[in-house]
């Protein structure tokens, strides 16, 4: 019988290299290249292993009708990415090489990421590139790319790939294509027929409802009417120290009532009528799942969810952390946390912290409720960096390491104090807080934002001197805008999108120009798109319908529902929506075209012209030279000739503020790969001389 030739299919080239090194008996697999596609030859227990990687998804779902002006289309199929996407021509070579290598193999092992995307990606390659080998392929399951875990995964192969997850993944891809392609075509075709211009407009079954969250919040903010109220500000002195005291009412709705409080208390002494001191334990944090890591990284470093996901992926591929796309908050015993801490103790900055945990009798993590059948929570593998990490990688790795150690720490012991000061029938409160025993906090200290307020010894009946009592005029405030982190949390809470797709959807909203800024401000285009969809096809932005589809896909994974049933139901729901959009195509096209034109114009308006007082400074292009410059909108009316030069390369946007020195508008400029520069439009402005 011929020796077994095993084809091991990985997801990315760096993963293939690690798998080959881990499985080769000598740890030195031979690297080969075919048409610049790397693959590795390794030997293990008498078998020749050929380890090759995909380049992400090599196949995608595409409509059988390729004409982009035709909709609705409900017949879709898997095709090579190079067939459907202009920028994916390189995937053709990868498919051809994998197909050739598969012909020499008599065993197949799937070693892609163990999640819905990894399973779907591997299934399509096994089926279409390897000649329908999906049913005979075995499966490697691992959560880290450490040598030991990869060897263990190979030794304990799962007999087949995870077909229920594959079915759910295939269903998700078809649903996203059916909704995204049809709806985007309907919008784009309508706009093109009206204006004659191609506009990049899109929506989808998750993108639409997510934008609706933002628009609803934007409308709430824009229509918010501030209501006045009054607050009492008080300062007391105790043993020569000053403390802020809080009045018993946060808001007083009548100014006369507020002034009466001040008049009753000013210049008098109060008395401590009650003193409550409580000690309590604060449990350690729970392990990171992807959403919690993204939220913490945004809070601490202002990394967007997408950026955090990308950095975590790089750390995973370097075998420094476990697989990041997980919703688990569990650390199972199989991870061998003691061995990880022993390894981390070789890093000087973690040595004393790791040894402190290792000196205890047992390591019991404080776990959260959420679990993930595919992977445990995010944790450090114990491997130390083999090369210097970039700043963002170093920060995120440190955060993950310290969080891992913190979950094994003891509860922190804290103390709170509340003193009630009574004065002429009114009550004020003093609050103190203090850490008595840091417990787990010692491991997570760089990332804890906590301030202690120490009150002096106080007793009931003690007189307190009020140094100041005054009235503050205040107004109620609207709810804050979402930021990328809080928007991702909203998507999680509403159950739309997945841990792997949410960050990308938020990025798409920004790239489409629907949303701008760190505090997600919906642009006029975003507001108009939702308004138009709400009037013509409200189901497209329905949160309820999207949640229903997500639930259906979870049921497919569990084997309680079939993909065909879910897809058929989705088609039946979408078809009348598309029919209605086609019926009102002219109106829809006009509204979308005008919305896009207004949005483009707004991006070109830098600010007001101070020369004539009525015009706007707009980015214009010279008919003779093609060069861009700033000109006053009143130029076309023959009323103002104001103009300023602009850089001819890079991106120019309105900065949204005026120069502090001369008052003219400022622009935001960014050359490719460079940091943003904000400057005054007037070349002779002194602020620009200072900048130079």
Clarify whether residues 9 and 144 are in a common domain: yes
End position of a domain, from candidates 577, 596, 615? 596
User: What is the reported pLDDT for 532?
Assistant: 87
Rounded Cα distance between 274 and 157, Å, is 67
443 with 389, same domain: the answer is: no
Residue 357's nearest CA partner among 372, 378, 343, 368 is 343
What are the pLDDT digits (tens) for 606-615?
889 999 888 9
The values of phi and psi at residue 156, to 5°, are: -120, 50
| 424 is a domain residue | yes
Q: Look at residue 1 and tell me whether its pLDDT is greater than 50.
A: no
Using H for helix, E for strand and C for coil, what is the string for 210-232?
HHHHHHHHHHHHHCCCCCEEEEE
> For residue range 175-205, what is the model confidence (pLDDT) as tens digits?
999 999 999 899 989 888 888 877 777 788 8
Buried b (16+ CB within 10 A) or exposed e, 209-219: bbbbbbbebbe
pLDDT digits (tens, 9 = 90+) for 217-229: 999 999 999 999 9
Higher-confidence residue of 39 and 594: namely 39
- The predicted model scores a pTM of 0.86
Do 14 and 148 lie in one domain? The reply is: yes
Q: What whole-number percentage of the chain has pLDDT above 90?
A: 68
* pLDDT recorded at residue 3: 61
Better-predicted residue by pLDDT, 482 or 513: 482
What contacts 24+ positions apart, CB below 8 Å, involve 204-207?
204/176, 204/179, 204/180, 204/505, 205/175, 205/176, 205/179, 205/180, 205/545, 205/546, 205/549, 206/176, 206/491, 206/496, 206/497, 206/501, 206/505, 206/546, 207/180, 207/505, 207/508, 207/509
The β-bridge partners of 76 are 63
- In Å, how far are 215, 245, 265, 470 from 260, measured between CA atoms? 43, 18, 9, 11
User: What letter does residue 434 receive in the DSSP assignment?
Assistant: E
Instruction: For residues 274 and 422, state if they share a domain.
Output: yes
Whether residues 387 and 249 share a domain: the answer is no
What does the DSSP 8-state code read for residue 136?
T
Q: Please tell me what DSSP assigns to residue 320.
A: S
Task: Find tokens 């079954």 and name the residue.
Answer: 205
C-alpha–C-alpha distance, residues 365 and 330, integer Å: 8
Q: Note whether 547 and 654 are same-domain residues.
A: no
Q: What is the pLDDT of residues 102-128, one digit of tens each?
A: 999 999 999 999 999 999 999 999 999
Confirm whether 334 is domain-assigned: yes
The domain that contains 107 carries what CATH number?
A: 3.40.50.140
Minimum mean pLDDT range among 231-235, 237-241, 649-653: 649-653
Stretch 387-414: mean pLDDT: 96
Give the model's pLDDT for residue 598: 81
The bridge status of strand 5-10 relative to strand 47-53 is parallel
pLDDT at res. 595: 85
Among 154, 323, 350, 444, which one carries the catalytic annotation? 323
Q: Between the CA of residue 690 and those of 644, 667, 683, 687, what are the distances in Å?
A: 19, 16, 12, 5
Question: What confidence score (pLDDT) does residue 538 get?
Answer: 87
Alpha carbon 55 to its chain centroid, in Å, reads 23
Give a yes or no: residue 466 inside a domain.
yes
Same domain, 83 and 144: yes
- Cα four-point dihedral sign 173, 177, 183, 184: positive
Q: Would you state the pLDDT for residue 246?
A: 95
Per DSSP bridges, beta strands 107-110 and 138-139 are: parallel
DSSP 8-state secondary structure symbol assigned to residue 71: -
Is 323 annotated as catalytic? yes
Number of domains in the chain: 5
Domain of residue 313, CATH code:
1.10.290.10
Quick check: 278 and 403 in contact, CB under 8 A? no
Residues 73 and 156 reside in one and the same domain: yes
Helix %, strand %, coil % for the chain, to 5? 40, 25, 35
- Condensed to tens digits (0 to 9), the pLDDT of residues 49-72 reads 999 999 989 999 999 988 888 999
Q: Is the pLDDT of residue 554 over 60?
A: yes
Question: Does residue 567 form part of some domain?
Answer: yes
Q: Looking at the predicted structure, is the pLDDT value of residue 684 above 80?
A: yes
Looking at the structure, tell me whether residues 370 and 251 fall in a common domain.
no
In CATH, what number is assigned to the domain containing residue 259?
2.70.20.10
Same domain (yes/no): 44, 121 = yes
Residue 660 falls within a domain, yes or no? yes
The verdict on residue 168 lying in a domain is no
pLDDT tens, residue by residue, 126-177 = 999 999 999 999 999 999 999 999 999 999 999 999 999 999 999 999 999 9
Domain termination site, one of 406, 431, 446: 406
**For residue 603, pLDDT beyond 80:** no
The verdict on residue 176 lying in a domain is: no
Alpha-carbon distance 282 to 362, whole Å?
20
Residues 611-643: tens digit of each pLDDT: 988 898 998 888 888 888 999 988 878 889 999
Structural domain includes residue 354 = yes
Rounded alpha-carbon distances, angstroms, from residue 385 to 243, 273, 381, 542:
48, 59, 11, 46
Q: Name the residue with tokens 């008098």.
A: 268
Parent domain of 32: 5-161
H-run or E-run covering 594: helix 585-604
Do 201 and 235 lie in a common domain?
A: no
CA distance 271 to 517: 50
485 lies in the same domain as 582: yes
Q: Are 209 and 530 in contact (CB under 8 A)?
A: no
Instruction: Residue 544: give its domain's CATH number.
Output: 1.10.460.10
The last residue of one of the domains, among 360, 390, 406, is 406
């Amino acid at each position: 019988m011929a020796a077994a030739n095993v084809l091991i299919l990985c997801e990315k080239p760096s993963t293939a290299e690690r798998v080959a090194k881990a499985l080769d008996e000598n740890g030195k697999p031979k690297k080969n290249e075919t048409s610049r596609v790397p693959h590795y030859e390794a030997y293990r227990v008498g078998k020749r292993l050929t380890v090759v990687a995909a380049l992400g998804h090599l196949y995608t779902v595409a409509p059988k009708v390729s004409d982009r002006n035709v909709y609705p289309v409900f017949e879709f199929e898997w095709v090579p990415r190079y067939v459907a996407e202009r920028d994916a021509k390189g995937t053709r070579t990868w498919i051809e090489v994998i197909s050739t290598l598969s012909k020499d193999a008599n065993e197949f092992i799937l070693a892609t990421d163990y999640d819905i995307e990894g399973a779907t990606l591997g299934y399509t390659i096994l089926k279409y590139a390897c000649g329908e080998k999906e049913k005979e392929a075995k499966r490697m399951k691992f959560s880290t790319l450490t040598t030991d875990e990869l060897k263990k995964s190979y030794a304990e192969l799962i007999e087949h790939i995870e077909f229920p997850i594959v079915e759910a993944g295939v269903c998700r891809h078809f649903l996203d294509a059916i909704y995204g392609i049809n709806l985007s075509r309907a919008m784009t075709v309508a706009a093109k027929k009206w204006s004659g211009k191609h506009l990049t407009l899109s929506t989808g079954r998750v993108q639409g409802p997510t934008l609706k969250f933002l628009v609803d919040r934007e409308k709430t903010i824009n229509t918010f009417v501030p209501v006045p109220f009054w607050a009492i500000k008080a300062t007391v002195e105790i043993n020569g120290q000053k403390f802020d005291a809080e009045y018993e009412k946060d808001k007083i709705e009548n100014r006369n009532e507020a002034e009466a409080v001040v008049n009753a208390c000013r210049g008098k002494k109060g008395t401590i009528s009650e003193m409550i001191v409580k000690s309590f334990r604060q449990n350690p944090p729970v392990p990171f799942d992807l959403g919690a890591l993204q939220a913490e990284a945004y809070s601490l470093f202002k990394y967007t969810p997408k950026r955090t996901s990308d950095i975590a992926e790089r750390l995973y591929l370097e075998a420094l952390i476990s697989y990041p796309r997980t919703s688990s908050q569990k650390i199972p015993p199989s991870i061998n946390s003691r061995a990880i801490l022993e390894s981390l103790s070789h890093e000087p900055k973690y040595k004393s912290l790791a040894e402190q945990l290792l000196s205890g009798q047992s390591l019991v993590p404080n776990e959260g409720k959420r679990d993930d059948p595919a992977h445990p929570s995010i944790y450090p593998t114990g491997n130390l960096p083999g090369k210097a990490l970039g700043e963002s990688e170093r920060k995120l790795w440190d955060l993950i390491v310290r969080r891992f150690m913190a979950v094994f720490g003891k509860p922190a012991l804290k103390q709170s104090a509340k003193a009630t000061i009574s004065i002429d029938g009114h009550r004020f409160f003093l609050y103190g807080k203090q850490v008595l025993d840091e417990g787990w906090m010692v491991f997570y200290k760089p990332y804890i934002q906590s301030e202690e307020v120490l009150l002096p010894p106080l007793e009931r009946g003690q007189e307190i001197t009020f140094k100041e009592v005054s009235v503050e005029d205040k107004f109620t405030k609207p709810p804050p805008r979402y930021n990328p982190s809080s928007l991702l949390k909203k998507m999680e809470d509403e159950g739309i999108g997945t841990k792997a797709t949410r960050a990308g959807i938020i990025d798409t909203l920004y790239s489409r120009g629907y949303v701008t800024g760190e505090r997600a401000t919906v642009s006029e285009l975003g507001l108009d798109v939702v308004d138009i969809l709400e009037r013509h096809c409200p189901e497209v932005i329905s949160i309820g319908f999207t949640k229903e589809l997500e639930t259906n896909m979870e049921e497919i994974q569990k084997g309680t529902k079939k993909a065909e049933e879910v897809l058929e139901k989705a088609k039946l729901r979408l078809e009348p929506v598309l029919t209605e959009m086609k019926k009102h195509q002219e109106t829809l096209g006009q509204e979308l075209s005008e919305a896009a034109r207004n949005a483009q114009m707004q991006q070109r308006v830098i600010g007001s012209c101070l020369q004539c007082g009525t015009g706007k400074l707009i980015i214009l292009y010279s008919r003779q030279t093609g060069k861009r410059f700033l000109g006053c909108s009143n130029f076309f009316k023959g009323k103002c000739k104001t103009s300023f030069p602009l850089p001819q390369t890079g991106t120019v946007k309105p900065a949204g503020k005026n120069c502090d020195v001369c008052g003219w508008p400022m622009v935001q400029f960014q050359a490719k790969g460079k940091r943003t520069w904000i400057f005054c439009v007037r070349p002779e402005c002194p602020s620009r001389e200072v900048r130079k």
